[in-house]
Amino acid sequence: MDRSHRVVVAIASVVFAVLAYLSAGGLRRAVPPTSPPGSSASGLAGGSERDNRVLGEIDLARLFPDLVLRQGDVAAKNVALTFDDGPDKQYTPQILDVLARKGVRATFFLIGNRLAESPEVVRRILAEGHAVGNHTYSHPNITTFTAQDIERELRTADREMSRFGARVTGMFRPPYGAVGVSSVEPLARAGYSLCLWTVDSLDWRGLTREQVINNVLPLVANGSVILFHSAGGPGEDLSGTVGALPVVIDDLRAKGFKFVTLPEMFPRL
């Protein structure tokens, strides 16, 4: 087989693999960033959470097993509750009320430019022993950002959290779960861990209490990281999350699960 023939075969193989991947639903449609670094969080409405991932969380974990934190020790009956997009003055306090009543500590991935809008909520998150992570400063879709622009977003959010006395842990969860493959290793070199999840409640869709429960409980296993939201965009309804949370906690506790924060689940954080 001559060189030109080998090239054609190689290209055909790549095209076939990509088409197979697409038909299996592995690759989701990427969209341009919702806002440039430093702009306001404008992409928080529930519908914007859809179809923004170049690669899903499972694919990222397979490609970067040493850089992505997605599931804890499967030999330990631990589970981590995580909440994105906060803080706000509507839903985050209600979620904190449930967690306080149930004696559960969770992990909140906060948006930097929202902290000043709800300073008392930020202080409450920290005072009640919850862990906090970085969800960027302005909640853009970073899939086409340069590594430098992504780091600028994260460093700016870190500074905002530090103003409230939060310990900067390097925990980073990308908005929409969307991150370009080329960005993962630069993020790691900058000291950030890509914190994903194993169970997605899909609560950003404005689901009912029962729908949220049904999206979570059947999928929880040892080491699960559960994705919820503690805030959203204008008009986004997270009452289903607030209603489902006590049921999820009681059910998992009855099954012997222990609730931990992400730094507790992943000691390297």
What confidence score (pLDDT) does residue 233 get? 87
- Is 130 an active-site residue? no
57-66, 102-111, 208-217, 239-248: which has the minimum mean pLDDT?
A: 57-66
pTM of the prediction? 0.82
What confidence score (pLDDT) does residue 48 get? 54
Topology (CATH) of 31-265: TIM Barrel (3.20.20)
Q: Hey, which of 15-19, 186-190, 250-254 has the most confident mean pLDDT?
A: 250-254
The mean pLDDT value for 166-194 works out to 90
Q: Where are the domains of the chain?
A: 1-29, 31-265
- Report yes or no: 122 and 96 within 8 Å, Cβ to Cβ: no
Q: How far is CA 211 from CA 29, 47, 200, 206, in A?
A: 25, 17, 12, 10
> Looking at the predicted structure, is the pLDDT value of residue 49 above 90?
no
Check 51, 59, 84, 158 and give the catalytic one: 84
What kind and span of H or E run contains 225? strand 224-229
What kind and span of H or E run contains 200? strand 199-200
The per-residue pLDDT for range 87-114, each reduced to its tens digit, is: 999 999 999 999 999 999 999 999 999 9
The string of DSSP codes covering 18-57 is HHHHHHTT-S------SS-TTS-----SGGGGTT--SS-H
What confidence score (pLDDT) does residue 32 get? 32
- Is 84 an active-site residue? yes
Cα angle at 57 between 53 and 58, to 5 degrees? 130
Euclidean distance between CA atoms 244 and 216, whole angstroms: 10
What confidence score (pLDDT) does residue 47 get? 45
What confidence score (pLDDT) does residue 186 get? 86
Average pLDDT along the chain: 84
What confidence score (pLDDT) does residue 129 get? 98
What confidence score (pLDDT) does residue 64 get? 86
Check 5, 139, 229, 251 and give the catalytic one: 229
Euclidean distance between CA atoms 141 and 118, whole angstroms: 23
The token pair that represents 205 in the structure block: 């869709």
Give me the phi and psi of 122, to 5 degrees please.
Answer: -60, -45
The mean pLDDT value for 181-186 works out to 85
The mean pLDDT value for 69-97 works out to 97
